[in-house]
Amino acid sequence: MGGGGDIFSQMFGFGGGAGRDRGPKKGKSVQHSIKVTLEEIYKGKTSKIAVNRDRICKKCDGKGGIDGANSTCEGCHGRGMRTKMTQIGPGMYSQSTGPCDECNGTGETIDEANKCKNCNGKKVVKEKKVLEAIIDKGSPHGEKYVFHGESDEHPDREPGDVIIVVNEQPHSVFKRKGADLLMEKEVSLLESLTGCDFVVDFLDGSKFRVQSPKGKVIQPDQLMTIEEKGLPFHKNPYRFGNLFVLFKVKFPETLQEAQVKDVQQVLKGMKKNVDANMDASETVTLIPFSQDQKNTHCQ
């Protein structure tokens, strides 16, 4: 194996070659973002993530070879870094400092015959591990789940952490703010005047039926509230946020003369629209929206 990644991680661990004597340093933490839908945030989710990380070779106990096989690299005198002169033109040289080629930046060499066969002298071997993150109900976007010491291990430093970050995916119907949800609902002018009755496919897989109060006219851009049809509160999942419904009233572009007459006769004779599918497990009622229904802080 080897390659650029190892060199960079070694450079990181040594802090540029000067930090070796200051005791073990902590290795780099690795972040993994996981996509989580709003449905999954509603219900909670167990997410598995496979990490391929370095672990200290058990055969050589992280020494890279048998006892006495290690010696200070002659190329860099154990510094791990080396200053190189590169000819860039006739009589012109550029000076650069980088990890030593001979020891791969480790500052030591292991004699070939006594190298550990298991890790080929690298002191570490790749190991795959599946980590299980339990995404809480109502988990906020950007929430971090830390797996301490599960990243790369190395003899010279403490292993870094693996951090799993919740990346909430946009939802086609609901927008989220804290534990509250917002949805837009388009209604016809007729519905806005005579009342609306529709079904919402909810995040838990159920359906509920929404009815406006009798005699209540829905204004364009009116916000109404369905209590406790938001997300579970984060870390308090028996309480729920609210669902706010923003009504968009679709006005007819034109009315025929006869219709105008009908409207003038105090809106008589109009038929109400109903959802084709009223197969809902529950019927809920819209109430007027107010600011104190918000549960934005509850996460």
Among 11, 28, 102, 189, binds Zn ion (CB under 5 A): 102
- Cβ at position 59, least distance to Zn ion in Å: 5
CA geometry: angle at 168 spanning 167 and 170, to 5°? 135
Query: Does the footprint of Zn ion cover residue 57 (CB under 5 A)?
Result: yes
Query: Does the footprint of Zn ion cover residue 119 (CB under 5 A)?
Result: yes
- Cβ at position 68, least distance to Zn ion in Å: 15
List binders of Zn ion among 12-51 (CB under 5 A): none
d(CA 250, CA 193): 12
- Using the minimum distance from each CB to Zn ion, give the nearer residue, 36 or 73: 73
DSSP string covering 93-153: EEEEEEE-TTTTTSSEEE-GGGB-TTTTTSSEEEEEEEEEEEEPTTPPTT-EEEETT-S--
CB 181 within 8 A of CB 297: no
- Cβ at position 75, least distance to Zn ion in Å: 4
- Using the minimum distance from each CB to Zn ion, give the nearer residue, 59 or 239: 59
Among 36, 41, 73, 181, binds Zn ion (CB under 5 A): 73
Tally of helices (H runs) and strands (E runs) in the chain: 4, 21
List binders of Zn ion among 82-101 (CB under 5 A): 100
Q: Which residues bind Zn ion (CB under 5 A)?
A: 57, 59-60, 73, 75-76, 100, 102-103, 116, 118-119
